[in-house]
Structures are given as structure tokens and as C-alpha cells.
Chains A and B, each alone.
Chain A
Amino acid sequence: MKYLDEFRRPEQIAALLQEIRRITRRPLRFMEVCGTHTMAIARWGLKRLLPEEIELVSGPGCPVCVTANPDIDRAIALADIPEAIIATFGDLMRVPGSLSSLNGQRARGRDIRVVYSPLDALSLAEEFPKNKVIFIAVGFETTAPTLAATIKEAYVRGLANFFALSLHKTVPPALATLLDLGEIKLDGFILPGHVSAVIGSKPYEFIPKDHGLGCVITGFEPADILQAILLLVSQANALAPRVEIQYRRGVNPAGNRIAREIMAEVFAPAPGLWRGLGMIPESGLELRDRWASFDGGRTFPVELPQAKESPGCRCGEVLRGLISPRECPLYGRLCTPEEPHGPCMVSTEGSCAAAWKEEI
């Protein structure tokens, strides 16, 4: 398949692995920040192929996983509003909130639908004018421009029954917080390709400058990821950390101006609540006042239950890279993909679900 097979060729993979083995001189720990990378690493079994000096840990990069319980609870509570239709991506359905999940509430008769794009939610609003369609929007800079465009489109179409609960977050502030916490020793970051396609490479410059860590913006095929690791090892060897772009076919150093402009038009930076990292200033995206009538959070104040995690769930520490999924006492015993206790096991991009795939 074009643009895929050429990045999956076994000979090329073998050559990259050999080169990584050749230049690796000491144990190195890299964090992949994007859930799609976590999934690709598991799908291709890359951890088993890499030399044992190279350790990969997952960071706070799966949008479903970093959504905190109070926000899941809010989505669940919104489903109780009369005439509400909740529209959401499939992965969010099974995430346990404090008392139930969206899936559980749908089985109890709430109108909760899986959509594949915010525009599908917009179509629902047109199709059911008497209902209030509330799109539960989780994601990063990758999907924020689409949500912004959808909200503008709702305005153009004059849809008064379309709302978004923006739980969108931005990646660089979370990385800054993670590094400031200083809990985990890292040697570099495998940075998200699609987020960077929007924001470019500049927002990461503080990582080499202030923290002395290498960064490589990386594509999603096995050859991309291995090449990024090779670049990170070279940076570490040369003690010359910087932000490099491996994913050149997808990322321009300046990012995508149009996408950023529409984001800035619709959203304002706001405090964002992250599972595991807590409240991070300027890491959330809230709708600007001009678009307040589309803001599901502001339009429908709901009472939330006392937020509580599943007892023993250590997703927060997994998301900070502090423990591996296998170090969580629930993993594989009480918490499995079919009966998940935390989002990292629910989401196809979660590190626990990925680790489960590697469990042979």
C-alpha cells in the first residue's frame, strides 16, 4: 500500500535496528508522548526488537486516558438532561467514571451515540432539531482545529441545538509539567507527528534548552519510530539535544498556520484538568465568549458526584511514566481490556491495553 508499505519493509527495519544496536553505548530511556505511537510500538512488537539498553515509556499522550474522572462524570451527567443526545468517539464509551460509564448509561436508556467526526454530531443536530446534541470533545491540537471548524459551521447553519463539551488539551504544557515534576529520568522524547503538524516544532524548543533532552517529531510507521530512536540515540551520544523532525512528510517546522488560526479564533487557553498530572494552567482549550452558546459545559450546568477513581487504579502514575502497566497491582488480574478499571486499559491507545497486546 502506498505510503505504508515502504515504511514497513522488513529489510529496512532490520537495517535500522542494526544501526541502533551499533551506536547505543549506554542505557537510554525515551518517552513516546502520543498514544498512536504507543499503539504502533505494541502492534509491531518493537520493544522486543530493540536492544535492551533502550527503554520506551509511554507519556500522557492518549486523549481518552488523560481525561480526568470529573470530566467523564460531566459527560455522563449531561446525558441526563431532557432531550439530550450525547455524541462521542467510541473509545470514551467504556471509560469508567466515578459511578458509571457512558456505555452503562446508554444501556440504561440514555441517548448516547458513537460518531466518527464532530461533523457527524453536527448532522445529528440537523436531523433531530428538537434534541440537544452535545459532542464530547476529547483530543489534542490534532483534532481541535476540526472541532473549531465544526463550531463555526454550526454557527453558519444556525444550529441552536448543537453543543460541544471541549475537553481538548494542548501537549507542550503537559510536557513542561511532567519535566518540572522531575519524577522520571528521561533521555529524550519521541514527539507526536500529528499534533506537531499543527503546532510545528517551536513549542518544544524549551525541552532541549531548559531540560537538556533530545526531541524527535516522529511518524507512525515502524521505520519512522526506529529512525526517531536512532536520531535520539545520536543526540544523546553527541550531548547535543535539539528538536529534530523525522516525520518530514507530515510536519512543517512552522506547523499549519490555518489550523492554528481557526483554533485561536474559537478557543482560548484555559486551565486543563489531566488525569495523573492534575490542573495545568493554559493546557485546556475553552470556547471563547463569542461562541459561548455552543459551549455544552457553560450552557448546561450539572451536578457532579464526588469524583472517585477505581480503588487501586494507578493510571495516573502510568501516564506520568512512573510505573509500567505491569507494576500496577490491578493489571491483568482485576483490570483487563474486557473489564477495565482505568482508561489506560480501555483506550486502544492506552499504555495498559498496549502492554496487554505484548503479553505472551
Chain B
Amino acid sequence: MKGKPTFSRPSEVILLAHGSGGRLSRDLIGELFLEAFDNPALAKLDDAAVLEVGGGRIAFTTDSYVVTPIFFPGGDIGKLAAAGTVNDLVTTGAVPLYLSAGFIIEEGFPLSDLKKIVHSLAETARLAGVSVVTGDTKVVNHGSLDKIFINTAGVGVIPEGLNISGANARPGDVIILSGTIGDHGIAVLSKREGLKFKTTVESDCAPLNGLAAAMLAVSTEIRCLRDPTRGGLASVVNEIAAQSRVGIFIDEKSLPVKEEVRGASELLGLDPLYLANEGKLVAIVAPEAAEAILGALTSHPLGREAAIIGEVRAEPAGRCVLISPLRSTRVIDLPVGELLPRIC
């Protein structure tokens, strides 16, 4: 026998949902990590920490990549590890400069696959104009992990005059999304064991520093910038609503969603709002700057399908509301459970 079940509450052990970017993740961060590490830079809970160094400000971030499968339409775990961390830096307005790369590899992993992954990471870093300047390699016994995990950290410099944070949204601000949602989630799911289906959707995985630079070149009136990865757009708008104590209204009709993504989502019972993206930005901007910023996005190759998707209101503070095409409303809640683990 594997032993009798213990009769404690399920939440007394770590569940996959603790890593899903949903409410359990948020509680874990709030109740354990924030308390233990207790400092003001971390307490802001942005995607990257903003630090005063030598009279200027830098952004510093880290992320671990455990996606399965490691090769998926439109990318692989190496590309993701470079782009994801660059994008976390970008969300502070920083110009990304340097990355670290730590590889944890399962014994028996094909060297040819490792080469592909490393070259892909290197190529993506080059594209983003960042250098991988330090690294680490660990190999663990067969079965101790699934193929390969990568951790990258990144630093960048924040230009003067920018103040971008999830806590800065104000009533009246306009919400802009840089393109279609759900592409990465559907591309990865389509290759999952037990769920394989044919689709032409590719992951949108891409470094977004060029796109952010294009926006910042036309206006610095960007209050919040986020890349809606794990947990999707729903998670990001909920985080911002909570951090800024504002109500966020999203107009479903204006959300750019690829037809294939909509179709696959309907079939699988998924909501594109909750699907992961790896090459999109959500910007909350001052209303007077919205048109110029939208213009800058749509003239950039990575932002052609950008759209204004909603607005910030004072109430209901801390909540997000979806306005359906029928003009009725419903709550966009934080994702719960672990419908799609290991998506990034």
C-alpha cells in the first residue's frame, strides 16, 4: 500500500496551483516570500525590482523556465528563457542589458537538443541586444527532473523620467494590448501528450524591448506595462487592479484573438483571457497619450494588431469586469486551479 491518506486540508502541501500565477500563487508570495524577504523593492510586486544604484535606477529580475514540450511551434525553452526575462525587464521601462543563464539538465538528455536550445537562447539574446554574461550548469540523476529547466536573471537600466509600475493606474486611463492573446498557450497545448491537435498557431514568443522602445519614443505617459504570460491577460489586469486599487473594464468585442485560438479554446473549454502569451504587452496609459502610443505599436512589426481594449475606472476597486458583446458584464476573476501547468 502507498499508505493511508493523511487527513489534513489539501492546502497544507504545495499544489501545482501554487505555481499557476493564480490566487494560490499570490497567497504563497504574500504569506511566505514577502514576509520572509521583507524589503520595499520586493514589496512592489512588479515583474522586475527597481533599484537605486549609483545615482541611477536599474531593473533586476529572475525567472525559471520549465515549459513542456521543450520544443513547440514558434519557439523552444531557450528562446523563452531569453525573451521572458528580457520582457520582465521591459515592463519597468528598462533597457535590458545583461542576462545570466542557469541550466539544470537531466542525465541522459541529448546533447544535440541542448545545443539547439543554447543556440536559440543566444540568438534571441542577440536579437534583443543583450549579452549572457554569466551562467551555471547542473546535471541531476535521471528522473530527478523532466529533461531540462532553465533559470535566467536579467538587469537593465531605466531611463530618467520614467515611472512605470503596476501601482500607477488611475481612473480614466486607457488599456492597450499589443496584439492577439492566447497564441503561446494554444501552440504549447497543441503539442502536449494526450491533447495533441492540429493547429497553425505558433507561439508569439519574442523579446519586446524594441516594441516598448517604440512606445516610449512617442510618450512617457505609460503608467503600467506588463507582459501577460502565465495566467494570461486575466491575471495581469487583476494584479494591476489590486496594486493600483482601481476597477478595470475590458471590452470583450475589442480583444484581438486569432480565429484558430478562439476555435481551439471553444473546443477545449478554455477562455483566451486566461491563456499564456510570451510576446505581448499590456500598457495602461494616460488618455491623452493613447492614440500616439497605439500608433507607435501598430507601426511596429510586433504590434500590428494592437488595440485599445478597455479603461480604468475608480470602482469597483481591485476588481476586473468584462463587458460582453451583448453589453452585459461579468467578473474577470483570477485563474484558479492548474488547468495548464508548465506553460512557460
Which residues of A come within 8 Å of B, CB atoms? 1, 4, 8, 10, 13, 42-46, 48-49, 76, 79-80, 82, 90, 93-94, 96, 99-101, 103-105, 107-110, 115-116, 120, 123, 222, 337-339, 348, 356-360
Contact A100 B329 (CB under 8 A): no
5 closest Cβ contacts across the A-B interface? Answer: A45-B328, A104-B10, A338-B23, A107-B13, A338-B336
Give the chain B neighbours of A82 by CB distance below 8 A.
1-2
What is the number of residues of chain B that contact chain A, defined by CB distance less than 8 Å?
Answer: 42
The total of Cβ contacts below 8 Å across the A-B interface reads 99
Write out the residue numbers on chain B whose beta carbons fall within 8 Å of the beta carbon of A120. Answer: 194
Is B5 in contact with A108, judged by CB distance below 8 angstroms?
Answer: yes
B328 touches A46 (CB 8 A): yes
Would B6 and A49 count as touching, CB distance under 8 A?
no
| Contact of B333 with A108 in the complex, beta carbons under 8 Å | no
Contact between chains at B2 and A45 (CB < 8 Å): no
Residues on A with C-beta less than 8 A from B108 are: none
Residues of B within 8 A of A338 (CB): 22-24, 334, 336
Q: Is B6 within 8 A of A108, CB to CB?
A: yes
Query: Which residues of A have CB within 8 Å of B329?
Result: 45, 48, 360
> Which B residues lie at the A interface, using CB under 8 A?
1-7, 9-11, 13-17, 22-24, 194-195, 259, 262-263, 266, 268-269, 316, 319, 321, 324-331, 333-334, 336-337, 339
Taking the closest CB of chain B, its distance from the CB of A310, in whole angstroms, is: 11
Give chain B residues whose Cβ lies under 8 Å from the Cβ of A105: 5
Nearest-Cβ distance from residue A39 to partner chain B, whole angstroms: 9
Asked if B330 and A108 sit within 8 Å, CB to CB, the answer is: no
19 A-B contacts, Cβ less than 8 Å apart? Answer: A4-B266, A8-B326, A10-B326, A45-B324, A45-B329, A49-B328, A76-B5, A80-B3, A82-B1, A82-B2, A96-B10, A101-B10, A104-B15, A107-B10, A107-B13, A108-B6, A109-B2, A123-B194, A360-B331
Q: Check A110–B2 contact: CB distance below 8 A.
A: yes
Residue pair B7, A99 in contact (C-beta under 8 Å): yes
B73 to chain A, nearest CB (A): 19
CA distance A19 to B11 in the complex (A): 49
By beta carbon, the residue of chain B nearest A80 is B2
Our pick among B4, B14, B327, B330 for the contact of A360 (Cβ within 8 Å) is B330
A80 touches B5 (CB 8 A): yes
Answer whether A44 and B195 are a contact pair too, CB < 8 Å, given A80-B1, A357-B333, A360-B319.
Answer: no
List residues of chain B with CB within 8 A of the CB of A101. Answer: 10
B1: chain A residues at CB < 8 Å are 80, 82
Residue of B nearest to A357 (CB): B330
B17, B23, B326 pick with most chain A CB within 10 angstroms: B326
Find the residue from B22, B336, B339 having the highest chain A CB count within 10 A: B336
